[in-house]
Amino acid sequence: MDQINTEHMVDVFAGLAAFFANKRDFLIALDGKVGDSDLGLTMSKAFAAAHEAVAAETEPAIATYLKDAGMAMAKAAPSTMGTLMATGFLRASKALDGVDAIGTAEMAAFWRAYSDGVAQRGKAKVGDKTVLDVLEPIASSLETSAAQDLALPQAMTKAVEAASDALENTKTMVAQHGKAAAFQEKSKGLQDAGATVGLFIIQSMTATVHAG
């Protein structure tokens, strides 16, 4: 699809819920290397709640759906990562207020608001080995694609490529936040679990766009 319309939003969140349910055990194992192994449970629970909230909305609008998702995630997964991801959707809902279709420019605005919201809430910066190390490249890639007037499917594919490269780059970093920070040098050589979540979100959304 060349744009995500209001009626496509339930499909977007159904895709995210299914994607994170499928990746639950992978995230549990990855998080267990330098964390407390709860990330897979937290994220699968958060996105299941987001999908349920969006599907139950009786006054559909893109911004409303995003707000519903953020609020549901915050309630269902009140962990650090759950709160950060919820914040991203809540910030994105404000950025897309009044928008009735998401093309490349709107998708760039979504991810810029998402990334900035997570950065502000989590007090992290690029290079700290967090989800931000993937969110920022996604936003930047989409902003470049929007400036080049690329169609949404092509722009999303490029964003996934940027996110994949950025995730690989987290292996060279040392964790500065969360439980992984206690491991410092041990975290080097491992891809960041939080950043992996960022890649999974853009991969899932891209799959929905291409399926449409």
Distance CA 18, CA 72 (A): 16
69 neighbors 54 (Cβ within 8 angstroms)? yes
Of the ranges 100-114, 163-177, 190-204, the best mean pLDDT one:
100-114
pLDDT the model gives residue 177:
56
Angle between helices 80-95 and 39-56 (to 10 degrees): 30
DSSP for residue 39: H
Domain boundaries, the chain: 4-211
Outline where the chain has alpha helix (H): 9-22, 24-32, 39-56, 62-76, 80-95, 104-122, 132-147, 152-169, 193-211
CATH superfamily for domain 4-211: DhaL domain (1.25.40.340)
Distance CA 98, CA 77 (A): 28
| Mean pLDDT calculated for residue range 111-129 | 92
**pTM exceeds cut of 0.85:** yes
Beta bridge partners of 5: 101
138 neighbors 159 (Cβ within 8 angstroms)? yes
Mind listing the pLDDT tens digit for each residue in 61-109?
999 999 999 999 999 999 999 999 999 999 999 999 999 999 999 999 9
pLDDT the model gives residue 174:
73
